[in-house]
Structure 1
Amino acid sequence: MKVASAVHGAAVVVRVEGDLDAGTVHLLHGELDRVWESPGTSVLVIDVAELEFCDSRGLSELISALQRGQAMNVRLILSGVQGVLRRVLTITGLRNVFEQHPSVAEALRLAADAGPRHSRSGGDPGSGSDPGSGSDPGGLYETAGDR
């Protein structure tokens, strides 16, 4: 697996290529730790267009990144979600939890237009602010009706 990051103003793009699993998740975790330590980051785009596989450990790392982003007021966006990761997010009911855009360019453009905090695509930008609330559409789990 390869992980690399680049700074685009107040946004950081982390590109993930290959397999994100128990044997490689530490690479993404380490890169994300560096992002969280960087002052001034308001948007984190994780580009998964070249991701070929994602197991439960990889998914757990993405969920942790989302939660940490919410706690730090950093908008997390996944770009290029397809294949195995799209299926994993759908099966687990997390597909609508992550803000997603088809490309890094679109994610950066929309993030710049909307500012640091914005509900996921198709959601209500004025949704509640309690990330742990079961009624918050920006929370961790979607309801069965959202599938």
Structure 2
Amino acid sequence: MSVSGPRSTLKVASVARGDALVVYAEGDLDATTARLLREELRQVWESSRISVVVIDVAKIMFCDSRGLSELISALQRGQAANVRLILSGVQGVLRRVLTITGLRNVFEQHPTVEEALGSASDAGPRHPPGPEMGGLYEVAGDR
């Protein structure tokens, strides 16, 4: 007997906007689809002219630990390459996952892509607030 269910899907596309790259993600960010986001972001890590990446997650319907791991990896690579990573449109399940894991305040977030790009043009690279320890840290009082 075989059991089948709906397959998870993720659509990923990106658009260059000056020295920024906007990545649009729609669907499920999980173990079977996280590689698509990784492959889309590969162009950022191979380019020296990109200084800001906005990942629009407004249409993400599901995110598991592998999807979250991919976002964390992107943030770490951005920090290492001095590329500012911003999430836009965080809501629903992704907001809950970020809150439960204590990562809500680690990622810079804006409600829309336009607001994220506006914020990026106002200032240079931004690192999350907190102690000067580097990497992914969140102060317990920030929750």
Same fold (TM over 0.5): yes
Letter in 2 for 1:30: E
Partner SS for 1:62: helix
Offset at residue 31 of structure 1 (A): 0.5
Deviation by residue 1:74-129 (Cα, 9 ceiling, x = unmatched) = 000000000000000000000000000000000001101112x1234xx48xx74x
Structure 2: how far apart are the matches of 1:103 and 1:6? Answer: 15
Asked if the contact 1:2–1:17 (Cα under 8 Å) also holds between the matched residues in 2, the reply is: yes
Output the TM-score relative to the length of structure 2.
0.89
Output the TM-score relative to the length of structure 1.
0.86
Aligned length: 134
Match of 1:141 in 2: 137
Q: Which structure 1 residue ranges, 4+ long, deviate > 6 Å from structure 2? A: none
Offset at residue 143 of structure 1 (A): 2.7
Asked if the contact 1:43–1:74 (Cα under 8 Å) also holds between the matched residues in 2, the reply is: yes
Match of 1:95 in 2: 104
Report sequence identity in percent: 71
**Correspondence 1:83 to 2:92:** yes
Offset at residue 142 of structure 1 (A): 1.3
Match of 1:135 in 2: none
Asked if the contact 1:3–1:14 (Cα under 8 Å) also holds between the matched residues in 2, the reply is: yes
Partner SS for 2:32: coil
Match of 1:50 in 2: 59
Offset at residue 145 of structure 1 (A): 1.7
2:68 to 59, 75, 78: 59
- Any unmatched runs of 5+ in structure 1? 133-139
**Correspondence 1:31 to 2:40:** yes
Structure 1: how far apart are the matches of 2:127 and 2:60? Answer: 24
Partner SS for 1:3: strand
Taking only aligned residues, the RMSD between alpha carbons, in angstroms, comes to 1.4
Asked if the contact 1:93–1:141 (Cα under 8 Å) also holds between the matched residues in 2, the reply is: no
